[in-house]
């Protein structure tokens, strides 16, 4: 093993607001003190109950992905397992997500954008 995953970092224009959005989706603590980094207006964090840390880095000229248009590809995305797609959709939309692809038929996943435009999926498990 060469390294441990410390966190996943998402670029955005409003770090704290995006951390609060993901807290609504995953739970956890926004901007918990951590000796690995300092917190300021350009850096916010979410320590999730499962131990994963998401970090949100302010980028002045952030241009969100335009999924599925390849002009500005998604580059990466997060998948969140949920038992009930409809209930989870209602909650993420209320928290500020935007539906990008509802799918059709019995497909077990849907695509959304967080408030900064990063695609993520809710996947039925």
Give 105's pLDDT tier (boundaries 50, 70, 90).
low
CATH (one of 3.40.50.970, 3.10.180.10, 3.40.50.720, 3.40.50.11690) for 78-124 = 3.10.180.10
Query: What are the pLDDT digits (tens) for 23-53?
Result: 999 999 999 999 888 899 999 999 999 999 9
CA distances (Å), origin 60, targets 41, 45, 67, 76 = 12, 18, 21, 20
CATH architecture for segment(s) 8-58: 2-Layer Sandwich (3.30)
Is 90 exceeded by the pLDDT of residue 15? yes
Domain ranges of the chain: 8-58, 78-124
pTM beyond cutoff 0.85: no
pLDDT score of 97 = 96
pLDDT score of 74 = 76
pLDDT score of 77 = 81
On whether the CB atoms of residues 57 and 42 are closer than 8 A, the answer is yes
Give me the chain's average pLDDT, please.
Answer: 90
Kindly give the pairing relationship between strand 119-124 and strand 109-113. antiparallel
Give 67's pLDDT tier (boundaries 50, 70, 90).
confident
């Amino acid at each position: 093993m060469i390294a441990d995953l410390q966190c996943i970092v998402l670029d955005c224009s409003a770090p704290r607001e995006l951390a609060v959005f993901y807290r609504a989706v995953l739970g956890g603590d926004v901007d918990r003190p951590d000796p690995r980094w300092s917190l300021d207006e350009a850096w916010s964090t979410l320590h999730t109950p499962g131990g994963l840390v998401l970090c949100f880095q302010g980028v002045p000229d952030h241009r969100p992905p335009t999924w599925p248009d390849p002009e500005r590809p998604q580059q990466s995305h997060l998948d969140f397992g949920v038992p009930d797609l409809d209930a989870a959709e209602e909650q993420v939309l209320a928290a500020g997500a935007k539906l990008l692809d509802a799918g059709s038929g019995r497909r077990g996943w849907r695509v959304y954008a967080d408030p900064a435009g990063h695609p993520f999926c809710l996947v039925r498990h």
